[in-house]
Chains A and B, each alone.
Chain A
Amino acid sequence: MREFLRAFVAGAALLGAVSGAAAVDGTLTLYTSQPNDDAQKTIDAFMAKYPDVDVTFVRDGTTKIMAKLQAELEAGASPADVLLIADSVTMEGMARDGRLMAYPEADVSAYDPAIQDPERMWFPTKLITTGIVYNSSAPMKPASWTDLLKEKAKGQVAMPSPLTSGAALIHTQAMVGNLEQGWGYYEKLAENGAQASGGNGGVLQAVAGGEKLYGMVVEFLPIREKAKGAPVEFVFPEEGVSAISEPVAILANTKNPEAAKAFVDFLISTDGQEMAASQGYMPAHPDVTPPEGFPPLSQIRIMPLDPAEALSTAEADKEKFADIFGQN
């Protein structure tokens, strides 16, 4: 009996050791569209909690990072384990192509079902809205999207291109679907000399540097730079803002699913959400307080958008946009 007990204890210990070893270690590669310093802080915080995991990241605009990832997946040689990009529309596309791994055990019970995937393929990590940025010295303080069509904004508006930025694509789709004028709004913007190119970073630089006075941009960039002293202001226009949830997902061909799951768990945990808030983002978790400079989540009016439908019209919308703004 004692022998049996001893064997049992040894076996249990061995089992524990084995399952412990299978837990969370090894390497993890993150493909992300987050700005460099945020991506760095995110993985630093994760690695502080899981010191046995070595995370590297690759950063580029959502469209570009996706092009890179797709190319690598086709070649069957992508190092990517986890994907953290701007928008759920791109995630829908990845899920449709069978590139993502479902993670049904992820704890997202506290999150708004409206920003979630019922299949549990991707998970919201924050709320990023697109509104209007203006240079502090601008003569007009815009309060509405239509203010950008005024004479005072002629040739003074910079905006990111949906051909480069995932957030910009969703923003365009939300605007077209929710503004009365639809595409007519963008046609008038183009007539008013608005310039559309590159990503949100370029828009911020143009407005902060005074080369343009107004811009459409994701809110965290100007709010954060303003805190550092940059001459920019951000407004949530009265018609509402578009929102993306910066979803995270696990690649189906990950070599380290345990670490990938831990990474997802970390981002959607209260700790991870507080870290997002500390980086100057609006957390997606309703219980976590937004950072300074943001109105409470309840006061922001978000223009609704259906990701599945947005996916189906994405290509046509990009072409339409390129048409209006004369891009190739």
Chain B
Amino acid sequence: MTSQSGASALPFQWQKADAWSDREGGAISVVVIACVGILCLIPMVQLVAAASRVLQTGTAEAVALLTSAAVLRATQNTLVIAAGSTALALVVGGAVALALATMTLATRRALAFLFVLSLMVAPQVSALAFKTLAGPSSPILNAVGLAPPPGTANPMLGFAGIILVMGLHHAPLVAITIGSGLARVPKMLVEAAMLDGARPAGVVLDVILPVIRLHILAAILLAFVAGVGNFGIPALLGLPVGVTTLPTMVYRQLASFGRGAIHDAALVSLLIALIAGVAVVASAWLMSRRNVRTDLERGMEPFVTSRRATLPAEILLWLFFSVTIVLPLVSLVAKSLVPAYGVTLNWKTLTFSQYTGTMWEQALIRRAFANSLTYSGSAAAILALLSFLLAYCVDRRLSWARMILLPVVEMPYALPGVVVAIACILLFLNPLPVLGVTIYGTAWIILFAYLASFLAIALKPVLAAVSTLERDVEEAALIDGAGIVRRMRTIILPLVLPSVVAGGLMVFLLAFNELTISALLWSAGTETLGVALLNLEDAGLGAESAALAIVATSVVAALMLALETSSRLFPQNALPWRQLCPD
């Protein structure tokens, strides 16, 4: 797919036209490069500049802050939690990915879907669900008489709980990464080993694992970065018992001390970025080494077919998912059906008032719904368009810039949301030069941060689709004199539209329940669903917050289901749970 090598073989007319279209596509390329620069590069540069200014002008204070007991403790907590949750995510995600890839499970599609759904459930909702499940007033445990007696601390609060919930939450991430490696293990390798009489366990250990070792490493790094940056889980399970991580610390600093704390927050954010950045760079390096092309060979297919092995595995997986995904969500539903938190759920206390009245009567909640819909919808639409243009330009015109543009796009996505949010605050704290207006404290700053954060998500499927397009059709249209805009509209776009839509919808799914960015950027009237949930919890309205969490999660689940039922329309790998379980 290298354009340079093919160029000399092309007819004269194409070469001439190519040169002409380089100029013709120039405007689009400039726009695309400008967008990437403004959205993804400038905020990061601003963050680094601000932090280094603080380091230079107040070196002693900056060093004192970074080595203060509070920051050291938060750093240690962050590392422990990230490492612990990564270990758990690796075990769970790796096992699930292996089972789905090697075994002929009758319900593998449903299992993959449920597993990825647990990733798409917002982290703060997961945390709330587990907290509800395990405490003395747990509706589920009380129903079976297993609830701990009153006066027992909630086991989910503190380190163990954070690591457990985060590990389970990030397990699907690990599974998707390992799964994409497994799908590329050549079928021939496995068949050869089986012919040699290797047992399935031997095949996994001796053949498969060595082939996918880079994917495993990449999955570990991914889970680690996600763990370093996660905000919702330590906010709900750590802050109440005084366990702070770096992201929750930045949040608390800003929330309690306002703009005065922004420079301290910038320094701490840079520390977060540093920790996450090491892992990101390592993982990028690993990925660049993974050049063992296996395109021509057929990928691995499930080879463990004996019912004696697959049936127990299937039952075990369903049991495990019931306990770790279904039960917490069910207890959250139960919590939302009582008139006040702490009331035992039974037929007499059952009420839908949280759904019918309490939540709806509050303008704040209604506004949060409208806001989250608007922000995530706009981000999805804008990013769908931008990623289409960007993918086309990167593939056809800016191949020289590919190695620069793509990492820049990845940067804000790979870095924790807290870092992006702080970078945006720094960028927009003062009125914009020339224009003299400020978007600080408005909805625009949230939208901007969403665009920066999620561009990589929208771009991924589109880039994959564009780079597999044959050039013949466009070539023919070009010779017919069709301009670039017309070619993009009538030829390219229809061909890659499913990928564009899939990318946009993924952005919508992620942004709809997002909390980390909006927790730092919200202002009067720009509350998101995540912020509203945190606020209800804070105000002591447990039943209401449970109801809100359920409604928000239902929206995401419904959209995921809609995507799944129409998955034929989308290219393979555009939907993450399909990646875990390809056709």
Contact = CB atoms under 8 A, between A and B. Distances in A.
A127 to B, nearest CB: 19
Contact of B541 (A58, A63, A201, A328): A201
Contacts of B6: none
A136 to B, nearest CB: 9
B341 A205 contact: yes
B541 A37 contact: yes
A137 B74 CA distance: 36
A328 B70 CA distance: 6
A321 to B, nearest CB: 13
A69 B510 CA distance: 30
B538 A202 contact: yes
Nearest to B363: A40
Contacts of A285: none
Nearest to B243: A197
A230 B541 CA distance: 12
A35 B541 contact: yes
Interface stretch (A109-117, A209-217, A251-259): A209-217
B342 A40 contact: no
Given A37-B361, A56-B524, A72 B340 contact: no
A80 B523 CA distance: 11
B361 A40 contact: yes
26 contacts: A31-B524, A36-B362, A36-B365, A40-B362, A63-B255, A64-B256, A67-B255, A71-B260, A164-B256, A197-B242, A199-B539, A205-B537, A205-B540, A208-B341, A210-B149, A210-B150, A211-B137, A211-B152, A211-B154, A228-B343, A229-B338, A229-B343, A230-B341, A231-B342, A326-B242, A327-B242
A67 B257 contact: yes
A62 B560 CA distance: 39
B371 to A, nearest CB: 13
Contact of B152 (A43, A60, A205, A210): A210
Contacts, number: 171
Interface string B146-178: 000111111001000000000000000000000
B234 to A, nearest CB: 13
Nearest to A37: B362
Interface string A43-74: 10000000000001111110110111011101
B525 A56 contact: yes
B556 to A, nearest CB: 23
A91 to B, nearest CB: 17
B73 to A, nearest CB: 7
Nearest to A318: B256
A29 interface: yes
Contact of B341 (A72, A209, A325): A209
A125 interface: no
Contacts of B542: 205, 208-209
Interface in B40-82: 68-70, 73-74
Interface in A298-328: 325-328
B369 interface: no
A276 interface: no
Interface in B121-146: 135-137
Interface in A154-203: 155-156, 163-164, 195, 197-203
Contacts of B365: 36
B340 A208 contact: yes
A87 to B, nearest CB: 15
A55 B511 CA distance: 28
Interface in B355-369: 358, 361-365
B441 interface: yes
Contacts of B198: none
Given A61-B538, A326-B242, A68 B340 contact: no
Contact of A209 (B244, B249, B342): B342
Give the residue among B135, B157, B239, B539 with the most A Cβ atoms within 10 A. Answer: B539
A286 interface: no
Nearest to A156: B151
A155 B338 CA distance: 28
Given A209-B341, A230-B343, A37 B242 contact: no
A195 to B, nearest CB: 7
Contacts of B69: 328
B424 to A, nearest CB: 15
Contacts of B342: 135, 208-210, 225, 230-232
Nearest to A326: B242
B438 interface: yes
Interface residues of A, number: 62
A95 interface: no
Contact of A40 (B258, B364, B438): B364
A209 B546 CA distance: 14
Nearest to A224: B340
A77 interface: yes
Contact of A64 (B242, B244, B255, B541): B255
B339 interface: yes
B159 to A, nearest CB: 15
Contact of A225 (B68, B137, B340, B429): B340
B15 interface: no
B240 A202 contact: yes
Contact of A198 (B135, B136, B152, B239): B239
A36 B256 contact: no
Given A67-B256, A205-B341, A211-B154, 14 more contacts: A36-B362, A74-B259, A135-B151, A198-B240, A204-B540, A206-B240, A208-B542, A209-B341, A210-B152, A210-B342, A229-B338, A229-B349, A230-B342, A327-B242
A84 interface: no
A195 B242 contact: yes
Interface in B206-261: 239-242, 244, 249, 254-260
Interface string A78-91: 01100000000000
Contacts of A156: 151
A37 B545 CA distance: 12
B309 to A, nearest CB: 43
A56 B537 contact: no
